[in-house]
Structure 1
Amino acid sequence: MTMKLIPRKITDSIVEYLDTQEIILLIGARQVGKTSLLKIIQNHLFAKGVTAQSVYFLNLEDPLVLGYLERGVNDFLGYLRSIGTDLSRRNYILIDEIQYLSDPTGFLKLIYDEYPQLKLIVSGSSTLEIRQKFRDSLAGRKVIFELYPLDFEEFLVFKGEEQLAELYRECCLRRLLKKEDSPVVTLPARYRSQEFSQYYQEFVLNGGYPRVTLESDPKRKLVYLTDIYNSYIRKDIKDLMRIDNPLAFNNLIQLLAVQSGQMVNLVEIGTALKTSRQTLERYLFLLENTFVIHLLPPFFSNRRKEVTKMRKVFFLDTGMRNLLLKSFEFFAGRQDVGALIENAVFSNLYKNRELLEDIHFWRTQSQNEVDFVLRTSTTVPIEVKFQAMDKAKVPPGIRFFLRRYPAKVAFVLTRDFWDRTQLGETTVYFIPVWMA
């Protein structure tokens, strides 16, 4: 299947840096669309009048290309000169899978320092591998962008539903945080809620990997998801990370899929898997830094406590979670639907977090709880209630939270219920989960 080149939301942010000297570093999990995004940037340059003789695309998964770059910068620049490249003018070098270079820092730094007219745009699949190979000498020389599996808005675009995607942009939770009008009265999307719900179910079950989204056949979707996971275990875990016991690592991932949305208790997990705490901590670190999971910290007014307390685990892609559980049943037939929806909400919030925004959960010793808290200069509590609802009843957890931490707005994410109510100074919105 030939992948369509469909722009991602992050594209415009990257394009803004094409005229600067900084190295553009695009990182993300395997098969989230980094190569396609580099090609989109390449096409953008062509559309702006940059000639093909000034744009070079190098994929380091090709052993021949990798071997050529391993010879060093001088050989690479000599090759460019030999094919008629004018190195005194602006040229764009796009390098895919930069982590395969043995010394990417030295290669990129030398070009950056000695040839500022060469613009470097590079991608990498593992933040951990990149951190190991990218030394501090690149500080101040790079700008980093993270690419994730599709969020729900992008999913609609990839499904060819541009009109629904535009309606989503006008009514989603992020938009509601920036405007005052009521979603209950003014949102045209309310009248197409059933369509949104159907697409949301497909999105949550299969996840947001572009190749999976573009495939219409359910069996092929499963084949592609399985291939993505196996490739991750084979390339990132066995080859790059040198995990000597992939079976134990795989058992941990499967256990985390069962426990998604729950707090990670290393003592209990270590006992269940017969694995040391030190090994578990290393494995969790690897899983976070290869974009599989995120460990969500608790919310405290004292930020130091957030570092020491247990965190909740969520998967960045719900399709990957469902693959590990071997469960792709529709919402109505699932016993884990609450945990699945909560994970999906987290994933979409995380992919769309604002600059300097933190996401937390909140829980007290007396078990008062709020599923998510967005924190920048203000706080926004969010509770997931994926159940039948006929009136705007504010959950106890949000009530307790607002007594301690007053907020302008709060959200209750429902199955299909829309409303708005006032709780003191706080406006509480009741909106479907797909709007998060």
Structure 2
Amino acid sequence: MLEKLYITEKILLNNLNSDFKRYLYAKIDFSSQMMAIVGARGVGKTTLLLQKLQELKKEAPRNHSLYFSFDLPFVATVDLFDFAGEFQKKGGRWLLLDEIHKYKNFSTHLKAIYDVYPQLKVLFTGSCATSILNAQADLSRRVVLHNLYGLSYREFLEIRTGQKLRSYKLEDILENSSSIVDELMTIFKPLEHWDDYLEKGYYPFSFNDQENFLGLLYNTINLTIEIDLVNLGLIKPESIEKLKKLLTIICQSDPFSINITKVASLSELSRNSIYNYLMHLHKGELLNIVHNNKKGLAKLAKPDKVYLNNTNQLFAMCNKHKIGTIRETFFANQVGNVYPITSSDKGDFIVDNRYTFEVGGKNKSFKQIKDMKDSYLVIDDDFTVNDKKIPLWLFGFLY
């Protein structure tokens, strides 16, 4: 069994052709005993795991580390706790487990491994964040949880252009946007790759097959609903098509303010189930729910705005996209991946409970936010930067 797994991981390492490391790699404290990487399908969790494996193989003998995925048919019946014990007896120090949510009762096994084998480090991934979060009752005191999001615009540009680009904190962007933009424009043309990113740049696997990417992403969205959310018991199989219809409705709409009665009618879902389904789709990173800043984040609070999680999903899910929806989806995604974000009655978003942002095109004025402290205009196609007017693309440099 072990030898078979070593052969399999060697094949995977030989096919690993990505030298680019995601933003999260440098942030993980690999001295922790047990670590989890969670995120949507297709954001690069397996690649990150294999990059760590590659590093471990260079530093220590082969038998010190082992990677395998629960996608492999011959590991389906393995007793993970017993296997970990045998692996450690034979010199194992690192166990890297992919797609852990596909293993039945994984949290029980991981808890036991943590308690009984403290010298064994475990790094594992879960395709849907809800799968790990639901199990945290057992794991919360033991596992360090890391969220891996899709590519930021900065990361996409690094891969596309080969240029090394740094990230910025929000405060840096707000205080020094003019100088940052001037510096970056000496390195690349910010809008040269902009449309490509909005359509195909959030998921690393787009670089493998540009032509078929949107079809592959559409399949990935369906798998998240049909397999991940159904297997976790979060949605009923008979509701699958209705949820897909709900996603399409949101995709085709202006920035979508929730009207529960209208949504229930259009999606053919009951009012009572709408709230839970919206939250499950949000946790599965198919939706991005931005609550009104006056209502808080209570589970049953009426969400103010609902977007698809990222702009690539807009292009995969529907043929017609409203430019305002694309702008706000990008901002809510890139900023919301790093900072708390809410919607506001004045302005579009409040970030980090302090800064107000109005997002629009070149004709957007300061009228709606002119009397508000810490307020900014975010414009997608205008480079006349000033202290209160910031290009939309620059918010893709937060990670």
**Alignment partners' CA distance in 2, 1:288 and 1:122:** 22
Secondary structure of the residue aligned to 1:314 is strand
Find the partner of 1:372 among 334, 349, 362: 349
Q: What amino acid does structure 2 have at the position aligned with 1:210?
A: P
Aligned partners of 1:412 and 1:147: how far apart in 2?
26
Q: 1:310 to 1:434 in 2, by over 3 A?
A: same
Give the TM-score taking structure 2 as reference length: 0.86
Give the secondary structure class of the aligned counterpart of 1:7: coil
Aligned to 1:183: 178
Q: Distance in 2 between matches of 1:184 and 1:227?
A: 42
Task: Give the 3 Å change call, closer, same or farther, for CA 214–411 of structure 1 in structure 2.
Answer: farther
- TM-score, structure 1 normalization: 0.79
Counterparts in 2 of 1:51 and 1:398: CA distance versus 1, 3 Å: farther
In the alignment, the residues of structure 2 paired with residue 125 and residue 324 of structure 1 have an alpha-carbon distance, to the nearest angstrom, of: 20
2:206 pairs, out of 197, 202, 212, with: 212
> CA separation in 1, counterparts of 2:136 and 2:277?
23
Q: 1:75 to 1:347 in 2, by over 3 A?
A: closer
Question: Identity percentage over the alignment?
Answer: 21
Structure-2 residue corresponding to 1:430: 389
Mark the runs of 5 or more structure 2 residues left unpaired by the alignment: 1-14
Q: Which residue of 2 aligns with 1:322?
A: 315
Alignment partner, residue 396 of structure 1:
367
Q: 1:387 aligns with which of 358, 362, 371?
A: 362
Per the TM alignment, residue 139 of structure 1 is displaced from its structure 2 partner at its CA by 2.4
- Partner SS, residue 373 of structure 1: strand
Give, in whole Å, the separation in 2 of the partners of 1:118 and 1:79: 9
Match of 1:35 in 2: 46
- Which is greater in Rg? 1
Q: Are 1:20 and 2:32 matched, yes or no?
A: yes
Helix, strand or coil for the counterpart of 1:412?
strand
CA distance in 1, matches of 2:171, 2:64: 39
In the alignment, does 2:378 pair up with 1:412? yes
* Alignment-mate amino acid for residue 47 of structure 2: S
Q: Partners of 1:184 and 1:311 in 2: how far apart?
A: 35
Residue number in structure 2 paired with 1:162? 163
Aligned match for 2:24, one of 5, 10, 16: 10
Q: Is the counterpart of residue 290 in structure 1 residue 290 in structure 2?
A: no
Residue in structure 1 matched with residue 91 of structure 2 by the alignment: 86
| 1:270 equivalent in structure 2 | 264
Are 1:297 and 1:307, in contact at CA under 8 Å, matched by a contact in 2?
A: no
Q: Which amino acid aligns with 1:45?
A: L
Separation in 1 of the partners of 2:202 and 2:296?
Answer: 32
Which range moves more in the overlay, 28-37 or 151-160? 151-160
Matches within 5 A, 1:196-345: 196-215=190-209, 217=210, 219-241=211-233, 242-259=236-253, 261-300=255-294, 303=296, 308-327=301-320, 336-345=322-331
Ranges in structure 1 where 5+ consecutive residues have no aligned partner: 328-333, 364-368, 421-427
1:45 and 2:70 equivalent? no
Deviation at 1:375, TM superposition (A): 1.7
Q: CA deviation at 1:245?
A: 2.8
* Aligned residue in 2 for 1:362: 344
Q: Which has the higher contact order (CA 8 A, sep 6+)?
A: 2
**Bigger mean CA offset, 411-420 vs 266-275:** 411-420
Instruction: Please point out which of 70, 74, 82 is paired with 1:74.
Output: 82
> Structure 1 residues 285 and 308 mapped into 2: Cα distance closer, same or farther (>3 Å)?
closer
Name the counterpart of 1:139.
140
Q: Indicate the residue corresponding to 2:4 in structure 1.
A: none
Shift of 1:227: 2.9
Is the CA contact 1:155–1:213 (under 8 Å) kept in the aligned structure 2? no
* Counterpart Cα distance in 2 of 1:106 and 1:305: 29
